[in-house]
Each structure stands twice: as C-alpha cells, then as structure tokens.
Amino acid sequence: MPTITTKDGVEIFYKDWGSGQPIVFSHGWPLTADDWDAQMMFFASNGYRVIAHDRRGHGRSTQTWDGNEMDTYADDLRALVLALDLKDAIHVGHSTGGGEVARYLGRHGTDRAAKAVLIGAVPPVMVKKDSNPEGLPIEVFDGFRSALLADRAQMYIDIPTGPFFGFNRPGAKVSQGMIDKWWLQGMMGGVKAHYDCIKAFSETDFTEDLKKIDIPVFLMHGDDDQIVPYEDAALKGIKLLQKGTLKIYPGLPHAMATTHADLINNDLLAWLKGELKDATQSAAALEPA
C-alpha cells in the first residue's frame, strides 16, 4: 500500500489516481479515504488528479496513541503535500476533514493551494462556550465518548442508521450498503485515535484559521445536517472568509456527498470552473430561518 512516513514515524496511507490539477480529500470521523469513492471516481474521470489519505489512527494508517489533534492532522497533511510535491492543489474536507483543511491552510499557508471546499464541515467551532453560545453542549460529545468506550461497534451502527445519512427521517430511502460501509470504515481505525478525535472535531476553534485563508473557499452544507448544524457552521464560516462562496442545500443530510453524490459533484465541478449558479458570495449570506 502507498504510504508516507511522518516525522514522528507514523505511516499515512493514501490513494493517488489520475492526472491533472490535484484535488486532495480529507475525510470525516471515524472514516477513511474510501468515504470519497464517488468523488474520486468522478473527478479523476473529469481530468483531475485525486488524492485521499487515511488520517492517522484511521483506516490503513498507523493506529496512534499520540498526535490525534488538529495541529498534527494538519502537519500530516502538509507532509503528504510535500512528499507528493503537490502544487496548485484543491483541498476538499468533509466534517472533521473540513477542520483539517482549515487548520492546514491556517497553519501552513496557501503556497501550494489554489482553492478549498468545506462540505458539512465543523468550522468555526462546534462546542458551546461563551464565545459560541449557539454551539452544542459539551455533554453531547461526552455522550459520544461514553458510547464509543461502551460499545464502539454498536455506536458505529447507530450513527449511520440514524442521523449521518438522514435515514431516520420519514420517507428516507435507506441503503444498508451505506450503513455497512460506514461501519466497516469505522472499525478499521483505532479506538484511542477515534476517542481523541471527538475532542479534536468538537472543541478546536478554527476562527483564526478561516480568517487567514486567502484563496477561494466553497462552503457546501445541508440544512438538515443533524451532525453539524449549518446555522453554527457554514453561516458563521462564510462571514470569516476573505473569498467565500456558500451554498445551502434544502433537506440534505450531513453525508450529502454520498447520498446525493451527483448533485454535489456537479456543483463542485461547476464552482471549480467558475460556472456555479444559485450560490451566495458575500459575508451577508443566508441567515437561519
């Protein structure tokens, strides 16, 4: 399997397909590069080079005890970019991966990056605190940690069966395959890394990272996202970006890049080409109803 080795000896697995301008995909918790199957196939078939890695502690990368936090995730991504000598790259992150992309660009700059895309992403910050009173209470994330330690395998059935894909909504068309794939990806990773990553995605504040990003950024978010509510994520994030574009998708869930891959892929391709319609490009973006 292709891997790079980080400065602390961690092996990071990656996939690298196609040719053209590189698109680098960062996955969500607790998944792997395989969560980007639909996007990898689509964009490689449309003239792009596509790269996706398994975050440390996830999937086929080393199951780590240390370094399961956003600064190190960003450093690992930088190591991958440098090892593959990627230039003019487009960085795409979903959920936790969106935080990884924001921290990477904020921490390491945009010298090798052209654009970024955050899909259902956690920035600016998820947890409720004085500076983020609309956030989710810490007890929500404590509950995630308790459930993970009590029965990780069952937790990794409950999440995709319910809110992740929106399969708990009336009339939802449930895919057992998507549920099983989610479970399999989750169980490939290490319990310690997954436990630590809950703190990383929920408590890290990306406000200053977003302010620093000087390349175009596309925020894509479903308004029925039950994992990362769009009101406290995309609607706040767009106001922090220098060159942000926002599109809110009515009725779509957290995993819309999987459940509605054709729509998301085509919109993303249109944005990359400067042809996207019906998107907002100002800090005075959509306000919650």
Catalogue the active-site residues.
95, 225, 254
- Cα(242)–Cα(217) distance, rounded to whole angstroms? 9
Burial grade of 3 (CB within 10 A; 0-12, 13-18, 19 or more) = middle
Please tell me whether the peptide bond between 22 and the residue prior to it is cis, using omega within 30 degrees of 0. no
- Cα(19)–Cα(97) distance, rounded to whole angstroms? 23
